[in-house]
């Protein structure tokens, strides 16, 4: 941590004493909590490189080795020349940051017979899954181009489209001379994004369908995040969205047709490429939620869905104790017991990550709500034991003195208790991040006018951070997500340092900082080298995405700029006061 050498001002000691104000209007701790199907495509126990029926599982209710979880939207049938899609074992890129889903992807390679112009698609079908009304699809995909003689439009996702019944829809890629473009189809209308995909490149992709009801104009939104780290967004009005669905629905992934053999017609509309993970919701996600889903988890680590169930992970008897972020979720222990006492996370930290404090938070499950004690060991530090119960949230403040640069070990250990097990609903190591290096230079960022104002802290590419605010480019927005639990319970402090200012008439410029649209502080001009450290009012911190907006406040007639060294969020158990100082 930096040390203040010359204190300029100490102001506004926090008077907030109520640290548990319930937030209003927020339901979701994490955007994936209400996902209705989420395939991670990461399981090939027979290691034959083929996606067998048992291997395509909905992570929400994964189950055990022998039995798929009840209620999960698992694959119910397959098609393909090889029996179904294949697995690709190379890791995907992670365009928006976030997490690798198991280092494996589903590979769709429709077979084509050029002699009689027929195709045999690679697909899986999930019976019992259909999306009515508003819906969202989030995926990470690589399109490998049109596979001749496939048609100019190929479908990745068939939400039980029924011709002439005007039910369901298709999502996929439409091609023209410029390349592939994201496309949405109902029998009434099609919406096609203008931006084109490059063959063989990974994208984080989102589509949000909003159905306002019969005879109302609906909307389709496309999100396309290229592997170099920039988001393209486009929204369409679509008069055709009155999305009713068959009462016994099914979903096809990989093509429009779930036809197991060569055929013409809709068999030609088959997706050719790889999909790392695919999630769908039965509601329209907001812009902030889509970005939260892309970058999940927020720094540093998260596993499990908040659903009062440990079955999104795997029985402790079927897993070893260690879990590395990015490994398949089915390799993570869902519980610790007197027999299988430990679950150990091996979390890599960079130099600047290791210099921050974090909160470790786990929601537990126990038998009949009986208590049992658990402790958290961080590297060589054994923290105080906590008592787990059913749907209990346990917290440990992990301080920087426990951490180092490299792979850090976090072990949850069952101690003793009435409950013979402590299950995990979900857990996170989170609450703090740093964007940029504290090195008195803005050179890791880019010219402010060359990128969007919005930067998401999960984006690994700092060349998408505005290095300055100026009279011409007045805003920089730093976006980050928090779980509902941390947003309610903890205190957060934002810090930046102004490293260089300039422009006409004056060398120093006024600026201000907003949190989630509410002004927090306004600053008269300060010298270069000034640290700006602002405690974020807890009432303004929210579950889900938060936005810190830094705004240039000098007269537009004064063509000036202020440059940033870094942006940082710190977390603590107690409120802190505003401070700014020079070094």
Q: Among residues 352 and 551, whose Cβ is nearest to Ca ion?
A: 352
> What phi, psi does 354 have (nearest 5°)?
-70, -10
Q: Among residues 43 and 396, whose Cβ is nearest to Ca ion?
A: 43
Nearest approach in angstroms of CB 264 to Ca ion is: 30
DSSP string across 132-187: -SSEEEEEEEEE----TTS-SEEEEEEEEEETTTTEEEEEEEEEETTEEEEEEE-S
Nearest approach in angstroms of CB 412 to Ca ion is: 15
Scanning the structure block, which residue is given the tokens 């402590």? 422
DSSP reduced 3-state for 25: coil
Q: Among residues 51 and 209, whose Cβ is nearest to Ca ion?
A: 51
Q: Among residues 50 and 201, whose Cβ is nearest to Ca ion?
A: 50
Q: Among residues 117 and 443, whose Cβ is nearest to Ca ion?
A: 443
Site mask for Ca ion (CB under 5 A), range 39-68, x = bound: -xxx-x-x-x-x-x----------------
Q: 227-243 b/e with 16+ CB inside 10 Å = b?
A: bebbbebbebebebbbb
Question: Rule CB under 5 A: is residue 552 a binding residue for Ca ion?
Answer: no
CA 13 from centroid of its chain's CA atoms: 34
Q: Among residues 41 and 340, whose Cβ is nearest to Ca ion?
A: 41
How many residues bind Ca ion, per CB under 5 A? 24
Q: Indicate the residue whose CB is closest to Ca ion.
A: 101
DSSP string across 364-386: EE-GGG--EEEEEEETTEEPPPE
Q: Among residues 83 and 371, whose Cβ is nearest to Ca ion?
A: 83
Q: Among residues 189 and 528, whose Cβ is nearest to Ca ion?
A: 528
Cα distances (angstroms) measured from residue 22 to each of 428, 469, 516: 20, 35, 17
Chosen residue from 307, 337, 475, 516 binding Ca ion by CB under 5 A: 307
Nearest approach in angstroms of CB 106 to Ca ion is: 7
Question: Rule CB under 5 A: is residue 312 a binding residue for Ca ion?
Answer: yes
Q: What token pair was written down for 76?
A: 């119910």
Question: Rule CB under 5 A: is residue 564 a binding residue for Ca ion?
Answer: no
Nearest approach in angstroms of CB 50 to Ca ion is: 5
Nearest approach in angstroms of CB 267 to Ca ion is: 24
Nearest approach in angstroms of CB 499 to Ca ion is: 7
Q: Which of residues 119-138 bind Ca ion (CB under 5 A)?
A: none
Contact yes or no for 536/493 (Cβ under 8 A): yes
Q: What token pair was written down for 530?
A: 């000034």
d(CA 520, CA 383): 35
Site mask for Ca ion (CB under 5 A), range 398-427, x = bound: ---------------------------x--
Contact yes or no for 531/583 (Cβ under 8 A): yes
Contact yes or no for 336/413 (Cβ under 8 A): yes
d(CA 366, CA 418): 9
Q: Among residues 153 and 305, whose Cβ is nearest to Ca ion?
A: 305
Please identify, among the stretches 21-29, 38-46, 516-524, 551-559, the one whose residues bind Ca ion according to the rule CB under 5 A.
Answer: 38-46
Chosen residue from 79, 210, 276, 365 binding Ca ion by CB under 5 A: 276
d(CA 389, CA 369): 5
Q: Among residues 100 and 514, whose Cβ is nearest to Ca ion?
A: 100
Q: Among residues 133 and 328, whose Cβ is nearest to Ca ion?
A: 328
How many CB atoms neighbour CB 464 within 10 A? 19
Q: Which of residues 64-103 bind Ca ion (CB under 5 A)?
A: 101-102
Q: 20-44 b/e with 16+ CB inside 10 Å = b?
A: eeeeeeeebbbbbbbbbbbbbbbbb
Chosen residue from 565, 567, 575, 579 binding Ca ion by CB under 5 A: 565
3-state SS string over 266-315? HHHCECCEEEEEEEEECCCCCHHHHHHHHHCCCCEEEECCCCCCCCCCEC
Please identify, among the stretches 170-178, 305-313, 352-360, 522-530, the one whose residues bind Ca ion according to the rule CB under 5 A.
Answer: 305-313
Nearest approach in angstroms of CB 175 to Ca ion is: 25
Site mask for Ca ion (CB under 5 A), range 435-464, x = bound: -xx-x-x-----------------------
Nearest approach in angstroms of CB 61 to Ca ion is: 9
Q: Among residues 45 and 265, whose Cβ is nearest to Ca ion?
A: 45
Q: What token pair was written down for 488?
A: 């309610």
Q: 301-326 b/e with 16+ CB inside 10 Å = b?
A: bbbbbbbebbbbbbbbeebebbbebe
Nearest approach in angstroms of CB 87 to Ca ion is: 7
Contact set with Ca ion (CB under 5 A)? 40-42, 44, 46, 48, 50, 52, 101-102, 104, 276, 304-305, 307, 309, 312, 425, 436-437, 439, 441, 565-566
């Amino acid at each position: 941590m930096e040390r203040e050498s010359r204190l300029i001002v100490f102001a506004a000691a926090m008077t907030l004493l109520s640290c548990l104000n319930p937030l209003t209007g927020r339901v979701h701790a994490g955007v994936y909590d209400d996902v209705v199907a989420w395939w991670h495509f990461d399981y090939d126990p027979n290691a034959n490189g083929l996606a067998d029926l048992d291997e395509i599982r909905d992570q929400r209710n994964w189950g055990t080795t022998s039995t798929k979880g009840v209620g999960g939207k698992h694959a119910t049938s397959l098609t393909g020349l090889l029996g179904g899609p294949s697995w690709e074992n190379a890791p995907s890129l992670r365009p928006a940051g976030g997490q690798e889903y198991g280092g494996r992807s589903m590979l769709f390679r429709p077979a084509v017979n050029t002699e009689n112009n027929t195709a045999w698609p690679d697909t899986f079908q999930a019976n019992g899954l259909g999306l009515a009304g508003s819906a969202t699809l989030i995926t990470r995909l690589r399109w490998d181009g049109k596979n001749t003689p496939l048609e100019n439009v190929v479908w990745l996702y068939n939400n039980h489209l029924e011709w002439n019944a005007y039910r369901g829809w298709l999502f996929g890629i439409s091609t023209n001379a410029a390349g592939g473009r994201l496309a949405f189809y109902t029998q009434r209308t099609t919406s096609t994004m203008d931006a084109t995909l490059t063959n063989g490149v990974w994208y984080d992709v989102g589509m949000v369908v909003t159905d306002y009801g019969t005879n109302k104009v609906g909307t389709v939104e496309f999100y396309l995040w290229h592997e170099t780290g920039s988001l393209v967004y486009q929204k369409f009005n679509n008069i055709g969205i009155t999305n009713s669905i068959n009462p016994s629905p099914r979903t096809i992934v990989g093509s429009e047709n779930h036809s197991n053999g060569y055929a013409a017609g809709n068999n030609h509309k088959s997706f050719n490429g790889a999909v790392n993970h695919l999630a769908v919701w039965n509601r329209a996600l907001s812009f902030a939620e889509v970005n939260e889903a892309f970058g999940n988890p927020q720094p540093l680590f998260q596993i499990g869905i908040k659903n009062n169930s440990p079955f999104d992970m795997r029985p402790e008897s079927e897993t070893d104790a260690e879990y590395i972020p990015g490994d398949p979720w089915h390799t993570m222990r869902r519980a610790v017991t007197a027999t299988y006492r430990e679950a150990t996370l091996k979390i890599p930290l960079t130099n600047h990550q290791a210099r921050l404090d974090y909160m470790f938070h786990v929601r537990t499950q126990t038998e009949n709500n009986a208590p049992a004690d658990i402790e958290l060991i961080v590297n060589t530090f054994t923290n105080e034991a906590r008592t787990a119960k059913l749907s209990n949230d346990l917290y440990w403040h992990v301080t920087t003195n426990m951490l180092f640069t490299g792979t850090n070990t976090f072990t949850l250990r069952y101690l003793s208790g009435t409950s013979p097990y402590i299950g995990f609903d979900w857990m996170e190591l989170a609450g703090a991040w740093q964007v940029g290096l504290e090195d008195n230079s803005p050179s890791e960022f880019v010219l402010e006018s060359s990128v969007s104002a919005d930067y998401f802290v999960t984006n690994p590419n700092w060349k998408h951070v505005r290095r300055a605010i100026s009279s011409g480019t007045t805003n920089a927005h730093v976006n980050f997500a928090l779980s509902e639990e941390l947003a309610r319970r903890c205190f957060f402090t934002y810090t930046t340092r102004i490293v260089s200012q300039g422009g006409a008439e004056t060398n120093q410029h006024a600026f201000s900082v907003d949190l989630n649209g509410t002004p927090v502080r306004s600053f008269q001009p300060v010298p270069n080298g000034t640290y700006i450290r602002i405690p974020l009012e807890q009432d303004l911190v929210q579950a889900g995405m938060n936005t810190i907006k830094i705004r240039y406040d000098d007269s537009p007639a004064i063509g000036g700029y202020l440059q940033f060294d870094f942006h940082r969020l710190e977390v603590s158990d107690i409120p802190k006061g505003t401070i700014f100082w020079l070094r």
